Amino acid sequence: MGRYNRAVVLDQIQLADGISRVEIAQLTGLTPQTVSGIVRRLLDEGIVREDGASRVASGGKPRTTLRLNADAGSAVGLHFDPVQLTCAIVDLTGRPLVVKKRPTPTDTDPSDVVAAMAELVGEVLAEDVVPRSRVLGLGLATPGPIDQELGTIVAPPQLSHWDRVPLRRMLSEATRLPVTLDNDATAAAIGERWSGAGKGVANFAYFFFGTGVGGGLVLNHQVYRGGSLNAGEFGHSSVLSDGPQCYCGNRGCLEGLVNPPAIVAEVHRRLAAQPEDSSVLSRLFAEDPASVDHATIRLAAAAGDSVAAAVTDEAAERVASVAVSIANFIDVDLIVLGGHGIQHLESRYVDIVASALATRPLARHIRTVQVKSSPLGTDGAVVGSAALVLHATYSPQLSALLAH
């Protein structure tokens, strides 16, 4: 119980932008005595600090503000995307102190990829922004599905030769750090809960637009992982009944219709069928079709190019349809959209999804589900992967309670 209450108090301090002992007691239902005792220990351990400024509550006595001590601990986050590796050192408040990236080695043995990961981790640590003794571990965000107990990726759709590779053990041996493994989208959702759009929100769904479309769920203030630890596969809802066969076994999956290759193919198809003078892309395409890639299309759509914008808006409508299902099924308070797949197009996606959420979920008469783009942007997964390490330290988890 002591450990659980400690986690509850720490969570309140982390979520608030400065909070007093009295406020913690009010929010948690713990007695002021219990809160004081826990805070005293957290201060002694250096995890929490007292803010110099004391605020005077209306009519009451001055209250000392408590904050997390950002320097008390840090973790290395590593985001393993099939295209790019991103590594960061993140402090206790969720702020990335160093971020480094490199291309993921392709068409090679998993052990070469692990070696590249370890090298990148070494480069980040060599920056010496935090004392090595304060680095609590390495969090790894990988494409799913994963088997948490074994620490392996299971039959990852976009990584051939990666079936049941013991990634956690290999990376731990290569870096000599304890490794915590999670689904990339779940990690990004944890990042949002920690320091992004989901901070303090009881129930939210996070859409992660990367090489594919994944997602994560926070329910009742807790990360919800599901029975096999693979919840949040929002990309595999059939949104087009007669749509193309998906590798997952379904037809017309969201992911297959809105992932980068699908967007590029659709834009190319339209440009080839009917050149439009008004479209900058049309001219680029005529010169060199390969130059009209996903990044170019995103920038063009953001600038209002007619073809790119139309294809983007149709993709956003499909995302909106799944967002409405999520609202109806899971009744979340907020949907967060993030990931590099919608970079520069965040507000376009947010507008279209918001409009659907305002008009289509069954419970909209009771309250409208909000939608926001991720303030962490493309760093969501790497911040979240570091949070994997720090999360168990300060987040209230029923399992921690039940283990006592």
Residues near its own copies (CB under 8 A): 1, 8, 28-29, 144-145, 147, 154-155, 202-203, 215, 217, 219-220, 224-234, 236-241, 248-250, 252, 321, 324-326, 328-333, 359-367, 369, 398, 401-404
Nearer to its own copies, 115 or 154 (CB): 154
Nearer to its own copies, 215 or 260 (CB): 215
Classify burial at 20, counting beta carbons within 10 Å of its beta carbon; exposed 0-12, middle 13-18, buried 19 or more.
buried
Q: How far is the CB of 154 from its own copies (least distance, A)?
A: 5
Classify burial at 4, counting beta carbons within 10 Å of its beta carbon; exposed 0-12, middle 13-18, buried 19 or more.
middle
Q: How far is the CB of 251 from its own copies (least distance, A)?
A: 9
Nearer to its own copies, 1 or 56 (CB): 1
Radius of gyration of the chain (CA): 23
* Alpha-carbon 133 to chain mean position: 27
Is 65 within 8 Å of 22 (Cβ atoms)? no
Provide CB contacts within 8 A for 173, sequence distance 6+: none
Nearer to its own copies, 145 or 275 (CB): 145
87/102 Cα distance (integer angstroms): 9
CA angle 216, 80, 226 (to 5 degrees): 25
Q: How far is the CB of 143 from its own copies (least distance, A)?
A: 11
Provide CB contacts within 8 A for 120, sequence distance 6+: 78, 85, 87, 100, 102
Nearer to its own copies, 217 or 316 (CB): 217
The H-assigned helical ranges of 176-279 are 184-195, 254-258, 260-273
Q: How far is the CB of 40 from its own copies (least distance, A)?
A: 21
Nearer to its own copies, 250 or 306 (CB): 250
Q: How far is the CB of 338 from its own copies (least distance, A)?
A: 17
The H-assigned helical ranges of 244-279 are 254-258, 260-273
389: phi then psi, degrees, rounded to nearest 5: -75, -45
13: nearest Cα among 92, 96, 130:
92
Nearer to its own copies, 34 or 74 (CB): 34
Q: How far is the CB of 178 from its own copies (least distance, A)?
A: 24
Quickly list DSSP for 18-81: SB-HHHHHHHH---HHHHHHHHHHHHHHTSEEEEEEEEEPTTS-EEEEEEE-GGG-EEEEEEE-
57 token code pair: 């509550």
CB burial of 316-328 (b: ≥16 within 10 Å; e: otherwise) equals bebbbbbbbbbbe
Q: How far is the CB of 304 from its own copies (least distance, A)?
A: 27
Q: How far is the CB of 326 from its own copies (least distance, A)?
A: 7
Q: How far is the CB of 352 from its own copies (least distance, A)?
A: 15
Q: How far is the CB of 343 from its own copies (least distance, A)?
A: 24
Nearer to its own copies, 108 or 228 (CB): 228
